[in-house]
Amino acid sequence: MAPSGNILAFQDTLHASRNIIAVAGAGLSAASGIPTFRGAGGIWRKYDAISLATPEGFAKSPSLVWQFYHYRREVALRAVPNKAHLALSAFSLSSLRNQIVPHSTFTLITQNVDGLKTVAASEQPDLIEMHGRLFDVQCTNKKCQYTLFDTTSPVCEALSGTEELVEHGTLDPEIDQSTLPRCSKCGDLARPGVVWFGEIPRHMKEIDKLVQKADLCLVIGTSSTVQPAASYAYEVQEQGGKVAVFNLERSEGDEEADYLFMGPCEETLSKALG
């Protein structure tokens, strides 16, 4: 059966749910001015994912990868949460949510690394950043692995101003490694604390438990092309739960959803959760 776009029917399902998860992607932050990865205007249209978002890419050129992530940090630092973040923040507050959905739990599992949901509310034990965080600076030395949450702008002097190169699509491969971000404990080269292709996402055990008990999965602003996040909705449905997709465009597997709300999630989400 084709997914329903009926918001009242969705709200009936929402009210009857007990363990709700949301799986979010780049579309959640698009209205805050943070580019998505795929599709029109997506980062992977301009830059090669294998060079910039794999451990092998970093090993080959830490300089190129740091310029890319420095640029992304600067964009995220200037961004403010949009209406979709605010709707999720409000819904995550148990005092507000339980007026709509009594005795329920809610966890936002985000693939986004921009930290924007974190900025939107103060009380957030229910946020899982499965692809890490842009502002984590992580030691590459396996024996150390120290990670510092650091919002310093720029993250190091050598990267200052290189954001213009990124905007023009020309990166400088020549930046000396010794001037790139270093571990504040052991002094070795640091890397962005994000999860690249081929790496295991964060908090997998916690996520698996949440997915296994979820009876409703909201899929928000993700192309649902990257595993394992793309499979959570399917798993929830397999165990008898419901799935609602909020996306500007059609996304992978959305024809199987119970509900499909096409349009900017900053509009559709506030209506659906309101």
Residue 17 per-residue DSSP state: -
Nearest to 6, CA basis, from 205, 258, 200, 256: 258
**What does each C-alpha distance from 120 to 26, 86, 93, 133, 215 come to in angstroms?**
16, 6, 12, 16, 26
38 interface partner picked from Zn ion, ligand BJW, none, CB below 5 to 8 A per type: ligand BJW
Residue 225 interacting with ligand BJW (CB under 6 A): yes
Pick the closer one to ligand BJW by CB: 253 or 264.
264
- Which residues 6+ apart lie within 8 Å of 26 measured at CB? 34, 35, 36, 37, 111, 112, 221, 222
Binding to ligand BJW by residue 62, rule CB under 6 A?
A: no
CB 59 within 8 A of CB 241: no
CB of 201 to ligand BJW, least distance (A): 6
Binding letters toward Zn ion, positions 164-183, x by CB under 5 A: -------------------x
Query: Six-digit token pair at 181?
Result: 């971000």
Which residue among 96, 160, 197, 212 contacts ligand BJW (CB under 6 A)? 197
Q: Pick from 20, 53, 159, 175: which binds ligand BJW (CB under 6 A)?
A: 53
Among 70, 85, 103, 131, the active-site one is 131
Task: Output the six-digit token pair for 152.
Answer: 């310093």
Q: How many residues bind ligand BJW (CB under 6 A)?
A: 38
Annotation says 203 is catalytic: no
- Check residue 194 for interaction with ligand BJW (CB under 6 A): yes
Strands, E assignment, the chain: 19-24, 105-110, 127-129, 132-139, 147-149, 190-194, 216-220, 242-247, 259-262
Residues noted as catalytic: 131
Which residues form the interface with ligand BJW (CB under 6 A)?
25-27, 30-31, 36-39, 42, 53, 111, 113, 131, 194-201, 204, 221-223, 225-228, 246-249, 251, 264-266
